Every structure is written in structure tokens, then in C-alpha cells.
Chain A
Amino acid sequence: MKMQLTKRHGAARILIRQAVASRGAGLVVILTALLVAGMFALWPRVEERLFTENARDAMAQSSAMMRDLVMVAAGGPPVGEQAIEAVFDSERPALTVDDVWGASQESVLEAQQDMPGLLRRVTGGPRMVAALDPVTTPSEQPHPEFVEMNTHLLADPDYAESVSFVEGTAPGFPETTAQAEPDEHGSVTKLDVTVEIALSAGVAQRYAWQIGEARTVYTPQAEVHLELTGVFEAVDPDDGYWLHVSSALEPLVALTDPGLVADAHGFISPEAIGTVWWILGGGSTQVTRVWFPIDASTLHANEVPALIAELRAFNAAAHPMLLEANHVSVPASRFATGSIDILENVRAERDSAVALTAMVVVGPAAVGLAVLALASKLVVGRRRRMIATMSARGASAGQLRAVLAVEGVLLGLVPTVAATVAAARLVDEPVGRGWWLVPIAVGLVPIAMFVGAVRPAGTTARRFAAAARLRGWVRRTTDVLVVGCAAVAVILLRRRGLDSGTDVDPLLVATPLLVMVAACIVVLRVYPLALRVLARSLEPSAGTVTFVGSVRSGRERVAAVPVLALVAGLAIAVFTSVLLTTIERGAESAAWADVGADVRASSARGFADDAVESALGFAGVDDAVAVTDAGTTDLFHGTTTTKVRVLAADTSALASVQADVPGAPPLPADLSELRDGVVPAVAGGVGAVGIVGEVVAGRHDERVPVTVVQRASGLPGLSQGEPWLLVDVSAWENTGISLERPRIVLMRTSGEVDQAALAATLNTNGPLVSPPEHVERFQNSGLAGDIRVAFMVSVAFAGLLAAASITLTLILGAPARGRLLSVLRTLGITGRQAQGLVAWEMGPVALLALLFGVGLGAAVPGLVLSGVDLRPFTGGREQPGVEFDYGLVAAAVGAFIVLVAVVVGVAATISGRLRLGEVLRVGEDGA
């Protein structure tokens, strides 16, 4: 376009005049473009942010032990001559940390330098800690609590970073005095060594070890006095470091037969590691733990797959660490990390969430574009006269298209670019280039609609007719194609089961959209026929409004966009409520399968014998049973050997506790008595009823004969997918094989139970768990909660779009309606009857859309949910079946209808007051 831009009578001025004159319609287009592009731009970014937060949370919530990249090598830093000579020769220059650790640390740093970029970014500075075999360090007075106290000596070149001394000083290099002692061969040199150590305030206190106190350990060549010189506290007790050196802050206590045994870590001076190792006997094992802390706080969701790959590659390679065991170099070895599992889980969750949200969003997205096209029609209607006039005055199609394209850019592209930039500012997440282009491309809709309004000049009637015929043909072909594609997609999806691929499956996302559009086509084609039949049957008896309304609705072209919007919106409302119910019930049954009872208590060190009794004595606890998990062992029968988990409990109590637990199998009553010396068992995943086998159990791997008397699929809270055997404690103990202490107590409760007090009574090592809390905790964490919000947002958005499309359609239909009403008014219809006609315009089609939308929403979950892994949202091991909560479905549909009705009502009121049709200058041609 080369129109001159002069000041007074230039093209620009005329364009501006035109734009200002139709600012109402322009504003509608701008707002719609902003809204739709904003949705297109925000959705992936918000989703990405949630995924990122989810990934970071999952990593942050995991323990450092699991998360970090760890290598455990049997060996320590090289012990040179110097280290041993230092014992005898106090004159020698002192060893430095660097002398001892330098080479090893160097090799670790090299490994980090070889890491690929992303992995290097998320790993912190490496740490190494060498630990010596534990030594028993009894106090002089019998200890009031522990029958045995073990101290593991640690050497960490960087431990000063992590501790701060609250009393005493950091340990120094060992002091040695050599004494010649007589024996039968003359005399030997017996060493008397003082090794200074540091303990945490917690350990020192529990061990009742005072500063300056030495506890003596005897070795073949020395009498070693471990002297406590310093007591420290952690600089940051929450630092993952303290999980790697787990019992450095508090001793680890275990209940054994003689009594409580404690294990704790204490630090020696790091440069003394080789020396102390030699003094303590030389042959003892040294274990060095090397780790890279992983900090995922800068990780982005889109980097997860790459990080998984990099971690795998890093772990697959052996890394030389320059360590020695007994003066021999330790071969290069591998790192391991639980991060891979965590991240794989995060990825699976993300994939499922992407698939689900894509299914839910694709409908409103399509409707959004359609509504934008509808809004653009407002402006096109306003431009028709300009097009006609200018074209008659010799404006070429090119000129007109250019003028309209400029307007399209201003009304469409500028708002979508603004919306995209604003969305990116608001939620600054790295997304693919496509998520920049797609929302901006939304702005092409008005441009296409505007430019498409220009028909080449001199279009003859013959060509018009041909074009109309072509359009009819294209429309019929499209109808057939869409319905056909939808059918094929449904068949394909039904044939194929759960997709195990990691990427979003286009078939899965496209199918709901195709089915939805196909349903709309059916509505649009069936509707006129249905109304014609209705009109014919009403003809003799109907009143004016019914007759004219039904005839008119049946004969005039049905507005497609509101139908699409209503069908999509309702389908989504129903679909999401079904999905939420499915997830919720799935999570519930997963929780019952995990927890196994109303309340579950667990203790890592085992429950006392009277635990069940004290639980039963607690208010609200009706029944309780202690379960021993004897671990996985071998089951021999015939010539086969199977790994089984052996669970033992008072089976009648278990049956009573689990009486109301979903999925709990009925247990036979006579499990507590031996059958011919054989232990009766209920089996899951292994054996057949009647088989007799032997399981390996007990301290000395005795074989206990068992027979399967019943089979069951699972034991809620106890079995975990692998084969299991449930035996009764008394029958088992009759064979003379003792069981370990039970670590699980399951309880049936009624009413409110003070769980904290119960936990204290039972002396558990953590809070009690019950299924509702389990579900709640699960659903509020991670993506499950976000998904619910996302669903509500998309249903609300779909409702707004439906309301917008209905309002716009009513506005666009105003001129035709006005003509009809003015004809009818001359025939004497009342205002009320006129309103009735307006209702007939949208009413029947809305009703049909309601039926199809709800039907579609009810049918789609069964179709597509088999294709999406919902387990990340239920926490269960099994894909949940589709569940309907008719109340929720009705509420969702009702809420949707109310939302649409309210918005349309408000719009109608406003438009009535503002004469919106005039403000928007619809159908101005007649003006």
C-alpha cells in the first residue's frame, strides 16, 4: 500500500477516523484477543512453573542421602611413609591436610569438572569423609542408658565448614609415647597414643563424655586413649551433610537383646587419618564416602529429562578417586544417586499432568479462537460499507486488504503480542519458541477475518453461485472428514492400551477435540431437522411465538460457535468432575492400600511387647494388631524357589482390625494352629492352595514348613506388590523359630483419637498415619492439588467463552431479529412475545448442546483415561478405574449453566441499557 500519509486528508487519518468510529467493536476484538492470547501464553508458562516447583519440591523434600551423588569406596586417602613415621618422630615437620587429602580431593574435583553443564550446575562442592571401623568406648562408670557405646572415627578435610566448637578446641595430631615393655623375648615397643577427638554436644551428653576425658581402646600395638578435646554444634543442623554422617549429632540407638546399643560419629584431625588407621591396627577397614550435594533449587522442569540422562551417564562411568586400601590403590568406582528415581517420578507426573491438562484445555482453546473470529465479525460488519464504497470508487482488492490488514494488526496482533509479552513478564518461565509463536499467532485470526471480507472486485453472480456451491461442498466434505477422523481416533484409542511413552501423545489430546467437534457437527445438522419436525407437529395448535420461533430456528442458519462453546464447556465441566472423582477415589483406595487400617503406627526399632495392650487401653482404639515383617526370604517348594515376604500377626486380630478396610481379604479362622506341624499361611502372588513348602527363617536360616490354605490378591498396608505369605504368630512360634519385634501396629478406631498422645504412648518414631490424612497430604502436595485448580480455571474460562459467544451471536443477530420484530410488531405481537422469540433463537440449540455436552463429558473419560497414567496423582500402584460422582457432575454442570446464564443475562441487561447493538454498530448497512 502506497497511500500517501498527508496530514489533513491522508490515508492514516481516514483509518484512524474509521477505527475510532467503530471503537466499540474494535474494543471487543482487542479484549477477546487479549483474553485468548493471554490464555495461550499463560497456560504453558504457569504449567511450566508448577512443574518446576514440583520438581524442585520433590528434590528438596527428599533426604540428602537419597538425593546426592554418592560414592562409597573401601579405602581412604593414601597412607604414605610420612604418616607412619609421624607416630615415632615428633621432630618431623607436621603433616598438613593437603599432604594427606590433596591428591584425593583433586581427583574428585576433576570428576566434577568432567561433568556436563547441567549436572555441574546443580552439584555443589564435593565432600569426602573417611570413616574407620567403630571402636567400643565404654565409660568408666557403667552407663545408665547404654550397654554398649561405639564411636566411629571420621576424618573430613573440610569439617571445619560444618561445625562450630562450643567447648574446647578442635582435635590435633595424635601424641605418641613409645614404651619398651618386657616380654619373654626381651622387650617390645608398646605405643601409648593419645588421639584427640571432637564430638557433637548431643553425642557428648548422651555418652556422658566430658572434655579432657580419655576412653581407652587396646590394639595389638598400642594403647589408644581417645581424648575428647572439643564439643561442637552443627553450623546448620539441616544441612544434608549431617545425613551423610548420620550419627554425628545424635547417637543411633538400637534395641538388642542385652539392651540399648549406641553408635555415634566423632571427628579426628583430618590429616591424622592415615596415622590413626595405622595405630588402630592397620588391617581395619576404612570407608570413604565421597559425595556431590545436589541442589535442585535452580532446576527447571524442562531440564529434568536432560538431568536424568546426565546423571545416568555420570553414574555409568567409573571415576578414579586416588584412594588406597592397605596401601593398594582403590580401583575407580561409580557414583549412585536416588535423584534419578525422584526425577523419573517427577517426569512421569509431568507427562500425565500435561496430557490431562492438554485434554481439558484444547476445547476452550478452540472455542477461544472461534469466539475471536465471532468478535472479528462485528468489525467486519462495520467495514462492509467502507469496502463497498471504496471498492466502487476504484480501490483495488490489494488496497482494501492492506487497509484491513493494518486494522487487523492493530486490533489483533498488537494485543496478542502485548498479552504474550505480559504473560512472559508475569510468569517468567523458559518455554519453547512455539509458546511464543502460538499466542501471538492468535492475532492472525482477526487479520484473516478482516482481509477475508474483501472479495475481488467485479465478482459476478455466476461466480458467487459457484463459490456458494463450493462452500457447500467444502462444508459437507469437512463434516464427513471430521466425523470420520473422530471415529477413527476413538477406534485407535480403544485398541491401544495405556501408552508407556513419555511424550504427550497427540492422539490422546486430539481425540477429545475431534469427538467434541464431531458432536457439534451432529448437533448443527440434526438441530434443523429436529426443529422442522417439532414445528410441523406444533403447527396446528401452537401460539405465535412457538410457531414462528420453531420455524425460524429450524430454517435459519444455526450459529455454530455458541454450540461449540456450550458443548465444549459442558463436556469439560463433566469430564473434569469425573476426573477429579476418579483421582480422589483412586487416591483413597491407594491410601487404604498403603495404610491398611484406620490408624497405623510404625517404629523402626520395633515395638515393645505390650504395645498392643497399651494401644487397646487408649481411648478410641477399638482393636489393634502388631505385625512383624520378617522380610523377604526364600520359599522352597518342589524344585522351585521363590522370593516371598513373610508377614506375621495375630491373624484373628488382624481380621478384626481390617474388617472394614477396602480390599482386605477375609482370613480363615484356624491360622493359629499348626496343621500336622506345618504352619498354615495365606499367600499372595505365589503358590496354590494346598501346596506345602518351606521358608528360610530364623537366626540360623532354619527351614519352616508352611502350607498355603488360602490365596488373596493383597493385604492392605502390608503387602507391596511382591509375593507374600501371611502366617499367624502363635502358629509360627510353635515351630520354635522366634520372630523379630513387630515394627507395625494397625488399629481400628472409632471417634476422635488423640494421635499425638497415642504416638507417644506407643513410642513410635514418627507421626501416626491414617488414610484421610494420607489422601489429604498427597493431594495437597505436588501436582495433584494444582491440577484441581487448573480444572476449575478451565471450566470457568470455558463458561466465560460460552457466555461471550452467546452474547456476540445475539448481538450479530440483532439486525435480522430487528427486521423480524418490526414486521411482527406491525402484526401486533407484544414485547413479551418478542422476548420469547429471542429465547427461541438460542434456547433449543442450547438444550441440544447441553445434552450432547454432558453426554460427551461422560463418555470421554472412559475413552481417554485409559491412556493417561493417573498413578502419579493417586499414589497408588494400580491405575484407578473411572468413577462417577453424580452429585459432583450435577454441581459442575449446574455451576457452568449458572455462570453462562448470569454472564449472558448481565450482558443482555447492559446491552439493553446501552443499546449495545448500536454501540457496536452491527448491521449498519441499513443505517
Chain B
Amino acid sequence: MTVTGERAHIECEDLVRIFTAKGVEVQALQGLNLRVDRSDLVAIVGASGSGKSTLLNILSGLDTPSAGSARVAGHDLLSMRRRERARYQRHVVGFVWQQTARNLLPYLTAAENVALPMVIARRSGRSERVDHLLDVLGVSHTKDRRPAELSGGEQQRISIAVALANEPEVILADEPTGELDEQTSGNVFEAIRHVNVELGVTVVVVTHDPLVSEHVRRTVQIRDGRTSTEVVRRSEVDEHGAEQHHVEEFAVLDRVGRLQLPDDFVRALDLRERVRLRLEQDHVGIWPDGSRRNGDDG
């Protein structure tokens, strides 16, 4: 994880999104922080209802946050006007949803589906680009077929091609492998990674799939509308020339110093309400509030 002074490619700070339905307010995001560097590949994991999809909807410009700040490639998602939003969706982000029905129009062939975003963006040289993208994703043979005539994996790979049509800087994918079997799922994820590496596109993937989350360098966990922990995987070649995989778990500290402890830590020490903190030379220690426990016993 790199947190540098320079602007990240995706930068969310204290992002809040409140839904109001029939007078009941649901706070889907409660001050979420996220930074993703250019050309990074990040997986976002979390239980259902944790706010993953809300975050992705905000990043794709389909939804507007209630408060906080969110910037993607220099576009401020809160202050974005209709015209800028359209430009943003056309040129800056591309996305892939779990259901192919949301990615592809059923009556268009694969090639036409890939061409559609370019038609919207009035881009020229469409045919060449369609051919190129289908080729990159290894689905050239499906060109003239309609989604109904394709396998789930092929559909998702075409969906990735659709997302890439206008050379976006960021690809957002919401459970892109959710409806696929393991084998296909692997292929599709491989395609995403390929795109990330070859084209240098920043990728954010929301997933449940451990196959995906365990194969990305950085996994961000969202809990109750906040980013709670991050797992960073590094591979280093040790002195014996063998590849070493390092997995480190981090908690996220926000600007004002708030920190969310992982669930298992809290349970293990039965941390409740108050904890003791102590600043050491190179770390911070946390203890259960002993006085309270004594009080309870007494």
C-alpha cells in the first residue's frame, strides 16, 4: 500500500451515502476512506449490505454521495454536473456488473455491444477497435453472436471488452465472476488481470470470490460502510531465488485518527466500550478496560 503525498488515482475521503426510503434513513456508507493508485488492481470484499455496491455505484457515477469527497482521475464526483458526468462515464470509467443482462443488450451481437459505448461517445475507427478488443480478450470468434448464444464466461469477457471500449482509465467490476463456475471464473479474472497489466488500467473489483481476492495485491475490506482492514500481498525473491509470498493485514486509519479493529481481535480480548491505549516507541498498545471488568465482577 502506498500512501504518498501525491494524488491517488481514486481517492475517497469520509464518504457518506444515506438512502431515504419512506422516512427511514439507511446509512450505507459512513465515512469511507479509500485510495487507489494508478494502474493498481484492488479487490473490495465485505458482507452483503456492507456498502460495497454503493461505493461502486458512486465510483461509476451512477450514484452521488451524500457527503465527503470522492475523486477519480481528477473528477470530483460530488460536484459533477450532468454533462461532466456523461463525459466521465464515457471516457474515464468502464464497468462490468455481475449480471450480464446489465452489461450487454440481448438483441445486439457481441461486436455491436462493444461498439455501443463508442457510438455513444461518437468515437471513430470503431470496427478496428472492436476487433482489437475482442482479440485482446480472446473472444474474436463470438463477434457475430448474441449474448444468448454465448457461455457465461464469454459473456463476461465481452462485458470487459465493452467496459474497455472507450479506453477508460478505471475499470470497476461488481462481482464479475459471481455467476460463474470456478474454472470460468478463473479465466475471467485472468482476463481482468491481463487488462490491468497490459493496458495499465486501474481496476477495482468487488468480490466474494476468494479466488479473486487472494490473487490481487491489495484487498480492502468494508464493514458497516467503512473500510476496516486491508490485506497486502507481496512476493519477494529471497536469497535462495525462491519466491516468497508475504501477506500482511493492515487496519485503516482515517485522517482524524479513527481506527477500526478487526472483529476477531475485538472478540478475542472481549473489547467493549472502552479500551486502554498506550503509546510506545514504535507502536500503540490496546488493552481491555480492566477497571470496568472489575466493577462488573464486584
Contacts and interface: CB of A to CB of B under 8 A. Distances in A.
A binds B: yes
Interface of A: 2-4, 6, 8-11, 13-14, 17-18, 20-22, 385-386, 388-390, 392-397, 399, 456-458, 460-462, 465, 924-925, 927
B102 interface: yes
Contact of B116 (A388, A390, A462, A924): A390
A388 B90 contact: no
Interface of B: 19-21, 60-64, 80, 82-83, 85-91, 95, 101-103, 105-108, 111-112, 115-122, 124, 126-127, 130, 162, 166
Which of B20, B119, B127 has the most CB atoms of chain A within a 10 A radius of its CB? B119
Contacts of B118: 9
Given A456-B82, A460-B64, A389 B102 contact: yes
Chain B, interface SS category: helix
Contacts of A925: 101
Contacts of A462: 20
B117 to A, nearest CB: 5
Nearest to A397: B82
Given A9-B130, A10-B119, A17-B107, A396 B86 contact: yes
A6 B112 CA distance: 12
Contacts of B86: 394-396, 457
Given A9-B112, A17-B108, A458 B85 contact: yes
B124 A21 contact: no
Given A393-B89, A394-B86, A394-B88, 6 more contacts: A2-B122, A6-B126, A21-B107, A22-B107, A385-B101, A456-B82
Q: Which 3 A-B pairs have the closest CB atoms?
A: A21-B107, A394-B89, A394-B90
Given A3-B119, A9-B118, A386 B105 contact: yes
A393 B115 contact: no
Nearest to B93: A394
Contacts of A395: 86, 120
A386 B107 CA distance: 10
B168 to A, nearest CB: 10
A394 B80 CA distance: 13
Contact of A399 (B19, B115, B120, B124): B120
A21 to B, nearest CB: 3
Contacts of B82: 396-397, 456-458
A729 to B, nearest CB: 92
A174 to B, nearest CB: 98
23 contacts: A2-B122, A6-B126, A9-B115, A9-B130, A14-B112, A14-B115, A14-B116, A18-B107, A385-B101, A385-B105, A388-B102, A389-B102, A390-B116, A392-B62, A393-B117, A393-B162, A394-B166, A396-B82, A396-B86, A397-B82, A456-B82, A461-B20, A461-B21
Contacts of A14: 108, 112, 115-116, 119
Contacts of A465: 20
Contacts of B64: 458, 460
A713 B126 CA distance: 91
Contacts of A6: 126-127
A87 B60 CA distance: 116
A927 B101 contact: yes
A394 B163 CA distance: 11
Which of B61, B103, B108 has the most CB atoms of chain A within a 10 A radius of its CB? B108
A20 B112 CA distance: 15
B89 to A, nearest CB: 3
Nearest to B130: A9
Given A2-B122, A14-B119, A392 B60 contact: yes
Given A388-B102, A456-B82, A394 B117 contact: yes
A393 B124 contact: no
Contacts of A927: 101, 106
A396 B86 CA distance: 6
Contacts of A388: 102
B83 to A, nearest CB: 7
A913 to B, nearest CB: 23
Nearest to A8: B127
A18 B108 CA distance: 8
B182 to A, nearest CB: 26
A879 B45 CA distance: 84
Contacts of A924: 106
Given A8-B127, A17-B108, A457-B86, A393 B19 contact: no
A17 B119 CA distance: 14
A380 B60 CA distance: 25
Contact of A393 (B90, B126, B127): B90
Contacts of A13: 112
A4 B120 contact: no
B250 to A, nearest CB: 33
A395 B120 CA distance: 6
B147 to A, nearest CB: 11
A802 to B, nearest CB: 33
A927 B147 CA distance: 12
B112 to A, nearest CB: 6
A17 B112 contact: yes
A394 B87 contact: yes
Contacts of B90: 393-394
B107 A9 contact: no
Contacts of A461: 19-21
A924 B124 CA distance: 32
Contacts of B103: 389
A9 B120 contact: no
Nearest to A3: B119
Given A6-B126, A9-B130, A458 B61 contact: yes
A69 B70 CA distance: 90
A6 B111 CA distance: 14
Contacts of B111: 8-9
Nearest to A465: B20
A11 B106 contact: no
B13 to A, nearest CB: 20
Nearest to B97: A392
Nearest to A925: B101
Which of A3, A9, A386, A397 has the most CB atoms of chain B within a 10 A radius of its CB? A9
Given A20-B107, A392-B62, A3 B122 contact: yes
Contacts of A11: 119
Which of A10, A389, A390 has the most CB atoms of chain B within a 10 A radius of its CB? A389
Contacts of A4: 119, 122, 124
A18 B146 CA distance: 13
Contacts of A18: 105, 107-108
A456 B80 CA distance: 14
Contacts of A385: 101-102, 105
A397 B166 CA distance: 19
Contacts of B95: 392
A503 to B, nearest CB: 49
B82 to A, nearest CB: 6
B149 to A, nearest CB: 14
Nearest to A12: B119
Nearest to B23: A465
A9 B124 contact: no
Contacts of B117: 393-394
B88 A393 contact: no
A326 B117 CA distance: 100
B1 to A, nearest CB: 30
A15 B124 CA distance: 18
A462 B63 CA distance: 12
A3 to B, nearest CB: 6
B242 to A, nearest CB: 46
Contacts of B127: 6, 8-9
B119 to A, nearest CB: 5
A386 B105 CA distance: 7
Nearest to A389: B105
A10 B90 CA distance: 17
Which of A20, A394, A399, A460 has the most CB atoms of chain B within a 10 A radius of its CB? A394
A389 to B, nearest CB: 6
A463 to B, nearest CB: 10
Contacts of B85: 394, 457-458
